[in-house]
Structure 1
Amino acid sequence: MAARETIAAVGAGRMGRGMAVAFAYSGHPVRLIDAKPRPMDEFDRLKAEIRAELGSTFVLMADVGLMQASEADAMLARVEVVGHDDLAAALAGVPFVFEGVPETLEAKREVFERLSRHADADAVIASTTSTILSNDLQGFVTPPDRFLNAHWLNPAYLVPLVEVSPGDATDPAVTARLLDLLERIGKVPVTCAVSPGYIVPRIQALAMNEAARLVEEGVASSADIDKATKYGFGFRFAVLGLLEFIDWGGGDILYHASRYMTRATGQNRFAAPDIIETNMAEGRRGLRDGRGFLDYDGLDVAAYQRERIGAFAAMLRHLDKMPVKGD
């Protein structure tokens, strides 16, 4: 088996540590680099804290069946914690560098200038920012075509999704290299345009704010709202994607529901986007039309529905919420 690439994670906070676990679990040597200059005694304490936390994480992963307990020491040994002053040496020969410093342009600019000077000329440099657009960071990297955003969701070692957002100047080959790396460690990368909130945070912000409004308006208790999202909203969307769900029930349902909710609440935030009305006009209501947001041409609909219902049943068993069966 070919040796796995060494990965550098610059910034030893929550995201850096999460990525270190993810890559070490998949067999990659990792250099977790402290981005903050600090006295040696303070760094030694930090290093001990990091190694203790990573060790505990591997033990926890073994406890929940993701690995054997006997593998924890070997995985921890793949992670080298490196001090700020040793960054240049730590980047030598590293083909992928992930930045995870605080979410300010000043902090990003400083670390990217250092990475540009010391990383290998062909190294991919990726930010893990959850807020700043790749185009706003790309100018800090030399050359800018090797830079892009890779937004991991916490906990990074568990959540499969990584949102990859190339900047306008990103070389497509760089994007392809990063997607390949992520897929090889079992992640599910998606590519999105330079847009605030990427995909998940944008959808998530709307859902979380609406849940908070339900509490504010006294519609239901916090406990019942969370129960509704876990066993209704989350349950369905763990099996069907949001757009797939629209197609499953029919875009006309969303069209009419949106019109009613907008009138009943007087809030334009419930109005459907133009694409819903366009799909209605073009006969793209979803599964029963053979097309919607997705194309179902040639699909064995009965087999598809059976597979999805089977996945719902598996979720019910996982949640221990199987329907009560009578005698």
Structure 2
Amino acid sequence: MVSTVQTVAVIGSGYMGGGIAQVLALAGCQVVLGDLDAETAARSYDRLTEQAAAFEAAGLFPADATDTIRAGLRPAASLEDAVADVDYVTEAVPEVRAIKADVLRRISAAARADTIIGSNTSAIPISELARSVTLPARFLGVHWMNPAPFIPGVELIAPEHTDPEVVDRIEHLLRRAGKVPARVSDSPGFVANRLQFALFKEAALMVEEGLATAEQVDLVVSNAFGFRLALFGPFAIADMAGLDVYNSSYESLQAEYGDRLAAPRSLAELVESGHLGIKSGGGYLAIDPAQQQELLAHRDSAYARLSRLRAELGTAPGLSVS
């Protein structure tokens, strides 16, 4: 049995921390907001409850969400007061190493010895931040996505020092909150931001080289492969498209851009061995061949429904393309 987390402190009650606090309060936790001082925490409490009311009125939060959040949150007089007697602390202060290190030291000194401590860092290795934590077996990375109330994915990063039971307890908490946790390795940027920033760098290079405008790049991404990524990950998309197609495309890219865009070794090896994706019975993913047609039918239906939803939503305010 996984011991349930009931009480939480969120340290850093700004945009990310505030969203995390709302989600965990809606999951039934008692959540304490800690920030620079009592006044900042109190202002955050007012902002978060007002925002919850607006989300509820717009149908983005469930009915009675405002009352639940109002009852489940409380501002603390200080960081130390916030973490003094809770099951779990999530640190969500700015992505500055010195600030995070100082805050984690203060949390360690003021929290119970059995309190789990998580960091919402976007890219700093957890093993590095662990140097500022007393009893690092209770420490892990818990990387939420922005905006926290509405993006389902959360990365769980647990280096060797982290107690496996700690990871289980936080994964259970996240699932209770309706999130989709993924356990990933402790490396800079983890999975989400390493991919996201690699894409952004390539997009920026295209603009800098005069190959496309920023608007043109966004138009292509949001209506082409980015459209698919709303429903499937890159390996599922590749397996459905055909790994031989991908490998041939990489040959053209390598001819122009060099080894930077050469085929990944794993892709070349799969194609060489005849594993071309679902059309050959196997690729990167273990997809049941008996469900191939069912998968493709699901894909087509999902894409059609997503197209209708996008048409219904229209162009995002302030953007000329979406």
TM-score computed with the length of structure 1 as normaliser: 0.88
Q: Is the 8 A contact 1:4 1:29 kept in 2?
A: no
Equivalent residue for 2:273?
Answer: 282
CA, structure 1 residues 118+296, in 2 after alignment: closer, same or farther (shift >3 Å)? same
| 1:92-111 matched pairs, under 5 angstroms | 92-111=84-103
Provide, for residues 113-157 of structure 1, a one-character-per-residue CA deviation record: whole Å limited to 9, x for no partner. 222222222221111111210110112222111111111111111
Aligned to 1:262: 254
- Structure-to-structure mapping, 1:1-327, within 5 angstroms: 5-34=6-35, 36=36, 38=37, 43-44=38-39, 46-68=40-62, 71-84=65-78, 87-264=79-256, 266-297=257-288, 299-320=290-311
The whole-number CA distance in structure 1 between the counterparts of 2:80 and 2:215 is: 50
Deviations 1:52-96 (A, max 9, x none): 321332133224312356542442232111132xx4443344111
Aligned pair in 2 of structure 1 residues 64, 231: CA closer, same or farther (>3 Å)?
farther
Q: Which moved more, 1:106-115 or 1:179-188?
A: 106-115
Report what 1:325 is aligned to. none
Aligned CA RMSD, in angstroms, stands at: 2.1
TM-score normalised by length of structure 2? 0.89
Which contiguous aligned blocks of 4+ residues in structure 1 show a shift greater than 4 angstroms? Answer: none
* Compared CA separation, residues 109 and 67, structure 1 to 2 (3 A): closer
Q: How many equivalent pairs are there? A: 310
With 189-198 and 4-13 compared, the bigger mean Cα shift is at 4-13
1:12 CA displacement: 2.3
Query: For residue 32 of structure 2, what is the amino acid of its counterpart?
Result: R
Which ranges of structure 1 fall in alignment gaps of 5 or more residues?
322-327
> Which consecutive unaligned segments of at least 5 residues does structure 2 have?
313-322
Partners of 1:138 and 1:109 in 2: CA distance? 9
Does the Cα contact within 8 Å between 1:4 and 1:27 map onto a contact in 2?
no
Identical-pair percentage: 34
* 1:221-272 Cα shifts (integer Å, max 9, x gaps): 32222121111122111122111011001111111111101212x3432112
In the other structure, the counterpart of 2:317 is none
Distance in 1, matches of 2:68 and 2:172, equals 25
Change (3 A) 1:268 1:298: closer
Return the alpha-carbon distance in structure 2 between the equivalents of residues 282 and 88 of structure 1.
Answer: 58
